[in-house]
Amino acid sequence: MPMVIQPQGKESVDSEISSIALSNDGKFVAWATYNGLFTIMSKENNEKREIKLNNHGKNIEYISSGNFVVSQDEGNIICFSKNCEKLWEFESPGGTELMKSAIKGDLIAVIDGTNKLRTINSQGELLGIFTENELVGMTINENGSAISCWDDEGNLIVLNRNCSIIFKRPINSEIGERIITAKYTHNGILLVSRETLDLPEEGEQNELEFWNPLGQKTGSVGFNSRCIAININKNSIWAGLFSGEVLLVNSEKSNQIWKSEYSITSLITLDEDILVSSWFYLFRINRTSGECVWQYEHEGIIDLMVMSENEEVLAICGNDRNDYTNAAPLTLLDPNSTPIWEEESDDEYIEKETIQIESNNIYNDSNEDLKNLLGDDYNQYDLKKESDDSAMEDLMAAFNEESPQETEKVENEDNLSLIEHLLSNDEKRNQPPVCNAGEDQNLEAGDDGSCLVLLDGSSSHDPDGYIRIWNWTSEDGRSLSNGPKIKLRLPIGNHRFTLTVTDDDGAMSSDSVSVIIR
C-alpha cells in the first residue's frame, strides 16, 4: 500500500478550471473557470469574492506588487487586488494566448491574439512590443531582465524587458526543429528542451541545451524521449520526459531518479525532493533514494499545478476528459504534511462477518404452534407419531417441496441473469483505438536530393475514450516522435513508417505508411 496525504480542502466548481494561482504566502488562491467566473478565496476564513469576466480567464499570475493579474481568452488583461477589486486594465488585441510574470522583477509578458509579445509593468504600463515570428511559447528569468520566446519552427529569441533582442538561437534548418519548453536557472542560464524532426547526424533527437546570457551554448544533454517539463532548485536541474522518466541533469549527463507509468506533465521542486504530476496522480519523489515519499490521486487528470513561494500550499486541478461527469474540484494540499498508509478500499477486501444463528425449536415446549400450523392434519399426525417417527419428516418435506413450475422459473431467472451479466461485461469491454497513419505518398526530391515530408496520423481516434500515447517509428524500429504529426526530410528512395497509438485503457493498434521520394 502506498503512503498518501489528505487534502487541506476542495473547492467544487460549476465549470472546468482554466487557470489557478497562489499568493506567495499561500493565504490566497485565485482561479478562473470556462464559464467566465474569476474567484479569489482567503484560505484563513474560506471567504470568496468572484467576478464575471467577459470571457474565460486564460492565465492568472500573482505579481510582485501582491495582486492577481488575469488574462482573458477574448478580452483585456485585468489586475485585481486580493479583495477582487479592479485596479487597472490593459488592452490586449484579440485576447491573450499566453502570459508570464517574473518571480521577483516588475515584469509581465503577454502574447496577445495578434501574436505580438508585449511587456508591461505591475502598474499596467507598456514597456515594449516584439512582432516577429508566430510565437507559441515563452519563459522569463527571475528578475525580469530577460524573456525567451519561440515559434513553431524552432526559432528562439531572447529579449530584454523593453523587447530589444539580446540574441537568437540558430536552428538546424536542414532537418527542422521545434522547442518543447524552456526555463531559466537561478543564475540566468537558459535551459532549452528541443526536438529535431529527423534523426540528426550528430547529437540526439531530443536534447536539453544550456545557453549563457551572452548567447553562447555551453553544453547539452541527450534524452531518449521529449523533455516535457523542467524545474530547478539551487542544487539541481530536474527533467520530466514524455516516456515517464524523471531525471537529474547537469551539463554533461543525466541520471534517472524515478519513472512513472505515464507521461510527466509538470514538476515542482520541494526542498531537495521533486513533486511530479503524471496522469491522475501527484507524487513526491526523494532525490537520494528515488522512492515515492507519498502520492495523491486527483479526481481529474492533473493539468495545472502551482505551489506558494513559502512551499506550504499546493493547488492542483484538471479534467477527467469525460463530458458526462462534473468538473473536478480545485484541490489544496500541504506538501509537507505527514503521509499515512492508504486504507484498503471496501471493494478490494470485504471481511466476512460470522453470523450467529439462534436456533429456536417451536415444537420443544408445546404442541399448540404445531396444531395451528397443521390444522386438521395434526390429529392424524399425533396418532401416528409414536408408531412412525418418520411421518413428521415426510410431512415437512412435502410442506417445503417446490413445484416444477417454481423450479423452472428459478432456473430461467438464473439463465437470464447469466446472459445479462455476459452482455453487460461485453458492453464494458474496451474497444481498441483506430490508428490511421495517413495515405501513402509519392513525392519529388528537390535540388538537394531530399524532400520535406509531413506524416499526419491525427485522424486516429478511440471509439470509447481517447488516445494517450502516439509513437512514430522507422523501418529499423527507432522511435521518431511522440506526437500525431511529424516532419521529416527524406532522401531519394522508398521509406516506410509505422504509427502506434495507445488509448486511455492501454489498448494499442498500429498502421504504416509508405513514402516514395523520386
> In this predicted model, what pLDDT tens digit does every residue of 386-415 receive, in sequence order?
545 554 555 455 445 544 555 455 455 555
Q: What is the mean pLDDT of residues 211-222?
A: 95
**pLDDT reported for residue 388:** 52
Q: Of 76 and 344, which is predicted with more confidence?
A: 76
Which backbone phi and psi does 353 adopt, to 5 degrees?
Answer: -80, 140
Those residues with Cβ within 8 angstroms of residue 90's Cβ, 6 or more apart along the chain or in another chain: 76, 77, 78, 79, 110, 120, 124, 126
The grid coordinates listed for 205 are 533527437
pTM exceeding the 0.75 threshold for the entire prediction: no
- The answer on pLDDT for 84 being more than 70 is yes
Instruction: State how far the Cα of 34 lies from the Cα of 317, in Å rounded to an integer.
Output: 13
d(Cα 97, Cα 513) in Å, to the nearest integer? 35
pLDDT digits (tens, 9 = 90+) for 475-503: 877 778 878 888 888 888 889 999 999 88
Over residues 311-336, the pLDDT tens digits come to 999 999 998 777 667 889 999 999 99
The pLDDT of residue 133 is 83
Radius of gyration of the chain (CA): 33
The structural domains of the chain, ordered by start, are 3-341 (2.130.10.10), 441-517 (2.60.40.10)
Contacts of 439 (CB under 8 A, 6+ apart): 513
What pLDDT shows up at residue 505? 81
Average pLDDT, the chain: 85
Q: Which residues contact 426 (CB under 8 A, 6 or more apart)?
A: none
Average pLDDT over residues 71-81: 97
| Residue 138 pLDDT > 90 | yes
